[in-house]
Amino acid sequence: MITEQQLPLFANGYELSEKELLACQNLAKALPNINHRAKAALAGHRSSNIKGRGMEFAEVRHYQQGDDVRSIDWRVTARTGKPHTKLFVEERERPILLFVDLSHSQFFGSQLLLQSVQACHIAATLGWHTVQQGDRLGALVATETDHVELKPKSRRHGILQLISTLNELHQNQLANIDNDDYQPNHVFNACMRLKRLAKPGSLVWIISDGQNFTPECIAPLTELKRHCEVKAFLVTDPLRTGQLELPKQFSLPIKQGKQKTVLTRQSYKSWLNSEQQKRQQFLSLMQQIHVYPNSIDAGKKLSEQLELLRQ
């Protein structure tokens, strides 16, 4: 039995609230700053490989015609007798884009949280961390019926639009869990949108249970990977990974999205094998584009798994 004390702050495990996503700001403070080299041509807080005017000193070289006289290093000039100028590494910000998969398959939970709730906690924590580093935050949140694009925004505008969108779509998915009206290949369509939304040099985080990724997704993700850094989190559940202790004999009704079934000791092994194959298909697909997801368990608080977010 899950007690209130075991749940994350403001969470009940199956619904989502803006308060619990705002509370993820505290988790983000425990994550280290990530010093990635930026490729995007925007001023900000990431060191680029382009030398020019900026905040971070790079090197001293001989003065050349056309150099800014304000950058002359007078100490080196006096010591060598020849004019030298300072060069700086130009600071650039890096857009961070979150691809949050809120398909109905994520609305499953055997302990503590629904996988969909854990996925939103991951997204909010990464979002707050992006804001703390001074980068711009955007997102693509996908369901069977909706694809909401959030263009990268700086400061708190990016995280607040993310929190509002996650909360609204999660509520809609819970309310329409039995709705059969949805787009086929919705994750593939989302990958196509993601490819267009992500600007070159962006860091893209994929947050999903992987169940709706198909081999067709490889093409847009491969193209995305050519110009962006891509990382991923696989959201799991203890029952789906075989980590939940069960009695010798049981009859366990479960619901996966719109599908309902009853698991027994005899049928559980076959069901577990099917779940493992779905996860392995997603992992294999990611490996084809040289992305190696970390698994986050929905049966544990995210605060107990922060090491996986630090990698």
Whose CA is closest to 233, among 204, 256, 198?
A: 204
pLDDT tops 80 at residue 146: yes
pLDDT beyond 80 at 48: no
Average pLDDT, the chain: 88
Name which of 95, 161, 160 is nearest 133 in CA terms: 95
Contact assessment for residue 234 and residue 294, using Cβ atoms and an 8 Å cutoff: yes
Local confidence band at 65 (pLDDT 50, 70, 90 cut-offs): confident
Top-confidence residue, 155 or 161: 161
pLDDT on residue 259: 77
DSSP-assigned states of every residue in 248-300: SS-EEEEEETTEEEEEEHHHHHHHHHHHHHHHHHHHHHHHHTT--PEEEETTS
Mean pLDDT of 273-290: 96
For residue 92, the model assigns a pLDDT of 55
In the chain the beta strands, taken as DSSP E runs, fall at 43-52, 56-62, 84-92, 96-101, 137-142, 147-153, 203-208, 229-236, 251-256, 259-264, 294-297
The single residue listed with the structure tokens 């994550």 is 31
Residue 190 token pair = 């989302």
Please say if the pLDDT value at position 51 is more than 60: no
Query: What does the pLDDT read at residue 128?
Result: 96
Which of 81-95, 203-217, 226-240, 253-267 bottoms out in mean pLDDT, i.e. has the lowest?
Answer: 81-95
Per-residue pLDDT tens over the stretch 186-237? 999 999 999 999 999 999 999 999 999 999 999 999 999 999 999 999 999 9
* Structure confidence at residue 141 (pLDDT): 98
State the average pLDDT over residues 43-53. 43
Q: Predicted confidence band at 70 (pLDDT cuts at 50, 70, 90)? A: confident
Average pLDDT of the segment spanning 10-22: 96
Query: CATH class for domain 4-38+95-310?
Result: alpha beta
Tell me, what DSSP letter sits at residue 72?
Answer: B
Mean pLDDT, range 6-18, rounded to an integer: 94
Confidence of residue 89 (pLDDT cuts 50, 70, 90): low
pLDDT (0 to 100) of residue 94: 82
% of the chain beyond a pLDDT of 90: 71
Residue boundaries of the structural domains of the chain? 4-38+95-310, 43-92
User: d(Cα 83, Cα 75) in Å, to the nearest integer?
Assistant: 10
In which residue are the tokens 């309902």 written? 260
